[in-house]
Structure 1
Amino acid sequence: MMKTVRVFVGKGNKTAITCPFCQKTNEVSVGKFKNLKHTVVTKCSCQQQFTVELNFRQYHRKKVELNGEVRNVSTGSSKWLEVTVVDLSMVGLRFKVVEATDIEKDHILRVRFTLDNQKATEIEKEVGVLNRKNDEFGCEFLFIDYEKELGFYLRS
């Protein structure tokens, strides 16, 4: 099985890739892959091949496991559905539903959850659903006002 290296792509579509075999690092321009495949196979000067997963995200995503609720604003529902927030960034989140739901791509939801920080900060925001994969939904915050507590939380 081929080894995989995950890298974050910075400004100017450049990233530093370190060979998992010899530890040699090269800075490379990967802009040509931005709208294409984000997983590429490369060969180091040590002759070893490995896979590179390119992350073009502007904001860091933090893996979490936070209890929360969502309400489907698009359908006019007043029912709050239990969810687990599984990753979080300054611009969006991904959550997993516990029960069957009528949530679809492009729906507007109201989401609320509590951070597992010392203050147990409550976050409540409107989100737009970008995608669905099985029982997980990727969403973006509709109003990106800087949340100081969320910013501190994501950096911790």
Structure 2
Amino acid sequence: MSERIFANQDGTTTIICPQCGKLKQADVSKYLELKSTVRLKCRCICGHCYVAELERRRYIRKKSNFSGNFVRTANARKGIMTVCDISRSGLKLRINGTEQFVIGEELSVEFRLDDTLRSIVKKDVIVRKIESSFVGVEFNSMDHYDQLGAYLMFN
């Protein structure tokens, strides 16, 4: 399994050797516009060689497994979903059933977090990506003044 490294806004990253913990700064700006997965071969001064995968997302995704439901804004049809991952900008949903979505379609989603309060989150989203039963959605607003904001910051 490869290490994950994150690109900063200035096109640099900090690579941490998994063997000895030494830090190294690297310029990764030439890889930021590529669509494919970027894996870098790294060699530490301690002699350890490893592969690091460059994460270019603006916001880190957190794996999740939250059950919920959605309502299609256009026709009020309802369905069941699972939130597979979550970030400040959106969600990756697994849709239960045979619903067919289109890019740009608006939905309302509702799911329950795994925090101590089992908080209910209700958000309006826009479909941005479709891959078989998985749908990538973007929040209409990234202002999370509800429990979701606290969840993303502290969990």
76-85 vs 23-32, which moves further: 23-32
Q: What is residue 72 of structure 1 aligned with on the other side? A: 72
Q: Give, in whole Å, the separation in 2 of the partners of 1:63 and 1:27.
A: 27
2:53 is the alignment partner of 1:39:
no
CA deviations 1:71-127 (Å, max 9, x no partner) are 222xx2222100000111121111101111121222111111111212222211111
Distance 1:65 1:98, change over 3 A: same
Counterpart residue identity of residue 146, structure 1:
H
| Conserved 8 A contact 1:41-1:49 | no
Q: Give, in whole Å, the separation in 2 of the partners of 1:146 and 1:34.
A: 27
Q: What is residue 93 of structure 2 aligned with on the other side? A: 95
Note the residue ranges of structure 2 that are not aligned, 5 or more in a row.
none
Counterpart residue identity of residue 6, structure 2:
F
Q: What is the deviation of 1:21? A: 5.1
Tell me the secondary structure at the aligned position of residue 12 of structure 1.
coil
Note the residue ranges of structure 1 that are not aligned, 5 or more in a row.
none
Counterpart residue identity of residue 63, structure 1:
K
The normalised TM-score by structure 1 is 0.85
Q: Give, in whole Å, the separation in 1 of the partners of 2:57 and 2:7.
A: 8
| Conserved 8 A contact 1:92-1:140 | yes
| Conserved 8 A contact 1:63-1:87 | yes
Aligned residue pair count? 152
Pick from 130, 147, 150 the counterpart of residue 149 of structure 1: 147
Root-mean-square deviation over aligned CA pairs? 2.0
| Conserved 8 A contact 1:62-1:89 | yes
Q: What is residue 114 of structure 1 aligned with on the other side? A: 112
The normalised TM-score by structure 2 is 0.85
Q: Give, in whole Å, the separation in 2 of the partners of 1:40 and 1:13.
A: 16
CA deviations 1:38-60 (Å, max 9, x no partner) are 41232415666533211122222
Distance 1:65 1:43, change over 3 A: closer
How many percent identity over aligned positions? 27
| Conserved 8 A contact 2:42-2:52 | no
Distance 1:119 1:20, change over 3 A: closer
Q: What is residue 58 of structure 1 aligned with on the other side? A: 58
Q: Give, in whole Å, the separation in 1 of the partners of 2:118 and 2:3.
A: 34
